[in-house]
C-alpha cells in the first residue's frame, strides 16, 4: 500500500518472496515449491507460476527505470556548484514573482500612493530576484542590487509582489556569507534604510516612525539569523578541524610506536651483532674488520636519525635536529665499500646553521647512495664550494659501464631533497650530466637561518 502511495510498483501478491528497500523483489524457491498447485491454473515452474514471473519482471523493470531516472535527474544537481544552483533558484523565483495572483503574499512598505503596474515595474521585480544568484559568491553586490530595486519599487507605489521577499533573502545572505567588511556593509545598510524612510516620509507616506522601526527590526532579524548560521558553521568547522588534528596526532603517535618497536629493535640487533663479531677469535682484520666497523657506525647513526624521526612524528616527543656527520665520513664510508669517490672543497669553510649542514649532508648521502645502486663501479666526484652567502654542493657520477635507458629517475629521495633545499630558500637540480652520467647540484643559502 505504501509503495503505491509513494509511486513505487506493488510486488506481486501471489509470488512468495522478499521486497527489498531498493524495490527489487526476490522469489523464495522453497516457498514457491511448497505452494499448492491448485492455486493457479497456469503452468508452474520451480520459481512460481509464469504469470507471477511476468509481474516480477515488470516490477524489476520499473524499479530499474526509477533508479535510472533518479540518477539522471538528481546527480547533475548534486554535482552543480552553489552558483549554478542559485542561478536556477533566482530564475524560478523571478518566474513565480511575475504571477499577479501571488501579489497578496508580497511585501508592502510605506503605503505609498498606488500606481498601476507597467514595464518598469516588471523590470524592478526582476531586479529584486535575479541578483540573488550571487547571494553566496557576492552577497554584498547582491544586497545592493536587490535593495535598490526594492526601494524604487516601494517609492513608486507599484503593486506588491513576492519579489519583495528577496530583500530578506539578500540580507540573510550577507549575514551568512559575507567574509570581509561585514561591519561596513551593515553600516551602509543602516544608512540606506534611514534614507529610504526619510524619502518615503517626504513623498507622502502615512507610516509613522514606529512602523519604519518595526520593519527595520524584521530586516535586522534576517541578518541576525544569517550571522548565527555563519557562527554555527564556523564552530562546526573548527570542531571538525580539532577532531581531525586529534586523529592525526593519535595516528602519528601510533606510527611512532610501531617504528620504535620494529625498526629500532632490528637496527639495534644489527649493531650489537656487528660489534660482537669484532671480538670473536680470531679477530677480524683487513676488509672484514673495516666492513664490520662500518656496519656498526652506520647502525648507530641510523638509530640517532630514527630518534629524530620519531620525535618529528610523535608530537609528545621533543624534536631536535639529528647530529649530521661530516661529508668526509660519507666519502670514507663509500670508499671502504669499494666505491670510487673523490672529494674536492673550494672556498673558505665557515660555521653553518644546523639545518644547512644537515641539508648538505643529505644531498651528498643520497647522491652517493644512488650512484652505488645505479652505477656501481663508476667514479663519483663530490664538489663543495663555500661562498659568502651560499654553499654549492655538486655530485657528479660518471656513466655506468652498462647503462640502462631511463635508469636515473627522480624518486622519493630526490623529491625529498628538493623539498628540504627549497625550505631553506635554495634550489636543487638532479638529472643527466654533460658526459652522459648523472649530476646532482644543490645551491643552499647559508644566511637563511641566523
Three-state SS string over 337-348 comes to CCCCEEEEEEEC
Does some domain include residue 246?
A: no
Q: Is the pLDDT of residue 224 over 90?
A: yes
Residue 384 pLDDT grade (very low, low, confident, very high; cuts 50, 70, 90)? very high
Same domain, 59 and 118: no
Q: Pick the most confident of 170-179, 331-340, 429-438.
A: 170-179
Choice between 307 and 441, residue whose per-residue pLDDT is larger = 441
- On whether both 91 and 194 belong to a single domain, the answer is yes
Residue 49 banded pLDDT, cuts 50, 70, 90? low
Instruction: Name the more confident of 27 and 153.
Output: 153
Q: Using 50, 70 and 90 to split pLDDT, how confident is the model at 1?
A: very low
Judgement on whether residues 203 and 89 belong to the same structural domain of the protein: yes
What's residue 284's pLDDT? 59
Query: Where a domain ends, among 62, 79, 96?
Result: 79
pLDDT band at 337 (very low <50, low <70, confident <90, very high): confident
Same domain, 62 and 140: no
Candidate ranges 94-108, 229-243, 434-448; pick with highest mean pLDDT = 229-243
- Is residue 369 located within the same domain as residue 431? yes
pLDDT at 5: 40
* In the chain, % of residues over pLDDT 70: 75
Tell me whether residue 347 is in a domain: yes
Q: How confident is the model at residue 35 (pLDDT cuts 50, 70, 90)?
A: very low
> Which H/E stretch holds residue 145?
helix 139-155
d(C-alpha 328, C-alpha 364), whole Å = 10
In a domain, 252, yes or no: no
Q: What is the mean pLDDT of the chain?
A: 78
Say whether both 90 and 171 belong to one domain. Answer: yes
Structural domain count of the chain: 3
pLDDT digits (tens, 9 = 90+) for 235-251: 999 999 999 988 888 88
Asked if 33 and 41 touch (Cβ cutoff 8 Å), the reply is no
Residue 31 has a pLDDT of 45
Q: What are phi and psi of 347, to 5 degrees?
A: 85, 180
Q: Are 379 and 340 in contact (CB under 8 A)?
A: yes
In a domain, 135, yes or no: yes
Which tops the pLDDT comparison, 14 or 252? 252
Q: Are residues 60 and 107 in the same domain?
A: no
Regarding whether 200 and 163 lie in a shared domain, the answer is: yes
Phi first, then psi: what are they for 150, rounded to 5°? -65, -45
Establish if 356 belongs to a structural domain.
yes
Residues 179 and 72 in one domain: no
Domain boundary among 58, 79, 100: 79
Binned at pLDDT 50, 70 and 90, residue 316 comes out as low
39 in the same domain as 131: no
Report which of residues 2 and 302 the model is more confident about: 302
Residue 120 has pLDDT above 90, yes or no: yes
* 45 strand-pairing partners: 48
Q: Which whole number is the average pLDDT over 121-146? A: 92
Greater confidence (45 vs 129) lies with 129
User: What local confidence, expressed as pLDDT, does residue 4 receive?
Assistant: 43
With the C-alpha atoms ordered 128, 133, 136, 138, is the resulting torsion angle positive or negative? negative
Reduced to 3 states (helix: H, G, I; strand: E, B; else coil), residue 19 is strand
- What residue numbers bound the domain in which 194 lies? 82-207
Domain for residue 409, yes or no?
Answer: yes
* Torsion angles phi and psi, residue 384, rounded to 5: -125, 120
Q: Are residues 9 and 72 in the same domain?
A: yes
pLDDT at residue 259, rounded to an integer: 76
Distance CA 68, CA 84 (A): 23
Question: Residues of 286-296 as b/e, b for ≥16 C-beta within 10 angstroms?
Answer: eeeeebbbbbb
Is pLDDT of 92 > 90?
yes
- Top pLDDT among 383 and 358 is at 383
DSSP per residue over 361-411, as a string? Answer: HHHHHHHHHHHHHHSTT--EEEEEEE-SSEEEEEEEEPPPSS--TT-----
pLDDT for 127: 93
Name the more confident of 156 and 311: 156
User: pLDDT value at position 331?
Assistant: 86
Name the nearest CA neighbour of 11 among 51, 19, 28.
19
Tell which of 160, 187, 207 closes a domain: 207
Could you tell me the pLDDT band of residue 265, with boundaries at 50, 70 and 90? confident
Q: Are residues 63 and 103 in the same domain?
A: no
- 193 pLDDT above the threshold of 80: yes
The answer to whether residue 423 is domain-embedded is yes
Predicted structure pTM score: 0.51
CATH number, domain at 420?
3.30.565.10
pLDDT at 55: 60
Q: Which of 160-164, 310-314, 388-392 has the lowest mean pLDDT?
A: 310-314
Domain-embedded: residue 139:
yes
Cα Rg of the chain, angstroms: 39
Q: Which residue has the higher pLDDT, 2 or 298?
A: 298
Amino acid at each position: 500500500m505504501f509503495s503505491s502511495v509513494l509511486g513505487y510498483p506493488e510486488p506481486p501478491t501471489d509470488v512468495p518472496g522478499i521486497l527489498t528497500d531498493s524495490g527489487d523483489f526476490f522469489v523464495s524457491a522453497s516457498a514457491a515449491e511448497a505452494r499448492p498447485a491448485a492455486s493457479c491454473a497456469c503452468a508452474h515452474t520451480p520459481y512460481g507460476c509464469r504469470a507471477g514471473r511476468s509481474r516480477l519482471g515488470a516490477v524489476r523493470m520499473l524499479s530499474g527505470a526509477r533508479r535510472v531516472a533518479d540518477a539522471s535527474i538528481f546527480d547533475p544537481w548534486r554535482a552543480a556548484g552553489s552558483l549554478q544552483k542559485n542561478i536556477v533558484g533566482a530564475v524560478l523565483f523571478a518566474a513565480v514573482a511575475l504571477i499577479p495572483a501571488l501579489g497578496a503574499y508580497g511585501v508592502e512598505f510605506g503605503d505609498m500612493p498606488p500606481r498601476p503596474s507597467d514595464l518598469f515595474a516588471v523590470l524592478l521585480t526582476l531586479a529584486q530576484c535575479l541578483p540573488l544568484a550571487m547571494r553566496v559568491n557576492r552577497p554584498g553586490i547582491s544586497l545592493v542590487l536587490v535593495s535598490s530595486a526594492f526601494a524604487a519599487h516601494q517609492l513608486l507605489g507599484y503593486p506588491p509582489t513576492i519579489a519583495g521577499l528577496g530583500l530578506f533573502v539578500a540580507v540573510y545572505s550577507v549575514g551568512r556569507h559575507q567574509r570581509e567588511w561585514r561591519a561596513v556593509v551593515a553600516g551602509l545598510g543602516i544608512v540606506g534604510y534611514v534614507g529610504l524612510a526619510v524619502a518615503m516620509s517626504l513623498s507622502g507616506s502615512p507610516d509613522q516612525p514606529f512602523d519604519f522601526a518595526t520593519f527595520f527590526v524584521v530586516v535586522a532579524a534576517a541578518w541576525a539569523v544569517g550571522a548565527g548560521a555563519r557562527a554555527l558553521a564556523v564552530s562546526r568547522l573548527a570542531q571538525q578541524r580539532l577532531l581531525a588534528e586529534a586523529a592525526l596526532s593519535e595516528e602519528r603517535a601510533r606510527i611512532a610506536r610501531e617504528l620504535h618497536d620494529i625498526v629500532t629493535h632490528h637496527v639495534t640487533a644489527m649493531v650489537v651483532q656487528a660489534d660482537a663479531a669484532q671480538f670473536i677469535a680470531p679477530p677480524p682484520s683487513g676488509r672484514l674488520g673495516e666492513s664490520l666497523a662500518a656496519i656498526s657506525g652506520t647502525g648507530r647513526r641510523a638509530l640517532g636519525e630514527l630518534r629524530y624521526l620519531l620525535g618529528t612524528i610523535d608530537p609528545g616527543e621533543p624534536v631536535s635536529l639529528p647530529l649530521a656527520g661530516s661529508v668526509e665520513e660519507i666519502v670514507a664510508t663509500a670508499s671502504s665499500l669499494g666505491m670510487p669517490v673523490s672529494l674536492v672543497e673550494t672556498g673558505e669553510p665557515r660555521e653553518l646553521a644546523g639545518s644547512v649542514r644537515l641539508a648538505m649532508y643529505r644531498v651528498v648521502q643520497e647522491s652517493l647512495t644512488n650512484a652505488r645502486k645505479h652505477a656501481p663501479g663508476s667514479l663519483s666526484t663530490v664538489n663543495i664550494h663555500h661562498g659568502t652567502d651560499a654553499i654549492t654542493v655538486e655530485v657528479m657520477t660518471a656513466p655506468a659501464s652498462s647503462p640502462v635507458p631511463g635508469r636515473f629517475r627522480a624518486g622519493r629521495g630526490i623529491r625529498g631533497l628538493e623539498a628540504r633545499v627549497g625550505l631553506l630558500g635554495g634550489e636543487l637540480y638532479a638529472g643527466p650530466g654533460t658526459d652522459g652520467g648523472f649530476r646532482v647540484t644543490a645551491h643552499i643559502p647559508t644566511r637563511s637561518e641566523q
